[in-house]
Structure 1
Amino acid sequence: MLTAADPLPARPHRVLVAGVSGSGKTTLAGQLARILALPCTELDSLYHGPNWMPRTDFEDDVDQLTRAPGWVTEWQYRQVRRLLAGRADTLVWLDFPVCVSMARLIRRTVRRRLLAEELWNDNFEGPLWTIFTDRDHIIRWGWRTRHSLKALVPSLEGKFPGLHVVRLTSPAEVDAWRERLAAVVAEPAREAGS
């Protein structure tokens, strides 16, 4: 497993971002897609249909997405994790302290609700008070699954040869790693232009 200080063995082309709810998977996926000039797909947009109903084409859509030569997405949804890991070359794991991810999750949930942000397929965050009545409210879900990746991610490289896992343990490590990746990607372009 690589750290923020380790160089990547090759330029990533099929990238996953793993982390618990609120860790910043989607944000980092979008940033990496821009740096690497790759398409980015948010898995939640494929999974959730209207009224939060799971879409029946979800697994087929993920299969089609991952057949492309280059992409960036999140590593989530148990039913497609194996497929995603088997086709990715790089997985960036946001392994933050619980307080960081939960604070981000709470801020994001409150912001989305107060600003009435549309999420996917005409879905919106539910009322904030439902944290007390809905077992699967995103904040309760985030708390319940806060350690869910600790046992899963470390074993991935052994199960999927060719998959490079990068473990980042703080937002500062994410910033430094992302900036180094951008510099490495830009270097060949500068050399070609000289």
Structure 2
Amino acid sequence: MPADPPRRLRVVGNSGAGKTTLAREAARRLGVGHLELDAVFWAEHWTMRDVAEAHALLRDFLASPGARDGWVTDGNWNSRRGELLEDADAVVWLDYPRRVVMARVLRRTLRRGALREELWHGNRERLRNLLRREPDENIVLWSWTQHESYRERYAALASSGDVPVIRLRHPREARAWLESLEPGTPGRG
């Protein structure tokens, strides 16, 4: 008899890799709740939410009926989430080549800026931020400068054996992994 499939997943990777898109679809296919960690940790006006308040939101989500049978979260936030998601069955790591991530984050940023898409709590990306030289204010620079850092962090996690890591190195691998999850039923990792 096969092992039980993962029902509590953390999707991680560089900004612009497609974490939220993959996490939403995985949650839909598994029939479990989804939580975007950016919506938890960012507050209005691009301010960081108080850690205690963010942790309360995370605990509320984990206790909600939608997350009772499992959950999928997306986002890194390792320094702020504490141990609240440590019981994940697996970590899905989007470890795409830098050129793929950069093309995606640039397209996404241009679309969001041009269409003034609301992200969380009234926050919107601004096209003028693409001219800023500080990675904390320019998501494209952030993605460029953090690429190796995330790669090192999640390679170390995979090597540690603390939690199974599903490493997806290209969008084709991500699509194949998603297709292995049967809609509405427990998936296979």
Q: Which position in structure 1 is the counterpart of 2:128?
A: 129
Matches within 5 A, 1:143-182: 143-156=144-157, 159=160, 161=162, 163-182=163-182
Query: Structure 2 regions of 5+ residues with no counterpart?
Result: none
User: Structure 1: how far apart are the matches of 2:77 and 2:112?
Assistant: 22
Partner of 2:15: 21
The correspondence for 2:57, drawn from 52, 57, 61, is 61
TM-score by length of 1: 0.81
Alignment of 1:87-126 (within 5 A): 87-126=87-126
1:141 partner amino acid: W
- The reply to whether residue 139 of structure 1 matches residue 140 of structure 2 is yes
Query: Does the 8 Å CA contact 1:17/1:92 hold for their aligned counterparts?
Result: yes
Alpha-carbon shift at residue 62 of structure 1 (Å): 2.6
Q: Which has the larger radius of gyration?
A: 1
Q: Could you say what secondary structure the match of 2:165 adopts?
A: strand
Displacement, 1:10?
Answer: 2.5
Judge conservation of contact 1:20–1:146 (CA < 8 Å) in 2: yes
Between stretches 108-117 and 174-183, larger displacement belongs to: 174-183
Matches of 1:171 and 1:27 in 2, distance apart? Answer: 11
Structure 1 71/183 Cα, relative in aligned 2: closer, same or farther at 3 Å? closer
The alignment's C-alpha RMSD in Å is: 2.4
Is the counterpart of residue 46 in structure 1 residue 45 in structure 2? Answer: no
TM-score (norm 2): 0.83
SS in 2 for 1:73: strand
State the percentage of identical aligned residues. Answer: 37
Cα distance in 2, alignment partners of residues 53 and 61 from structure 1? 16
Aligned to 2:73: 73
- Structure 1 residue runs of 5 or longer lacking an equivalent are 1-7, 188-194
Return the alpha-carbon distance in structure 2 between the equivalents of residues 184 and 123 of structure 1: 32
SS of the aligned residue for 2:32 comes to coil
Q: Does the 8 Å CA contact 2:12/2:74 hold for their aligned counterparts? A: yes
Aligned partners of 1:66 and 1:87 also within 8 Å = no
SS at match of 1:92: strand
Supply the AA of the counterpart residue of 1:152. R
Aligned pair count?
Answer: 178
Q: Which residue is 1:83 aligned to? A: 83
The letter of the residue matching 2:4 is: A
* CA distance in structure 1 between the partners assigned to 2:41 and 2:186 by the alignment: 34
Residue type of the alignment partner of 1:89: D
TM-aligned CA distance change 1:15 to 1:102, over 3 Å:
same
Q: Distance in 1 between matches of 2:5 and 2:55?
A: 27
1:30-64, Cα deviation, whole Å (9 max, x unpaired): 00000000010111111111101111111332344
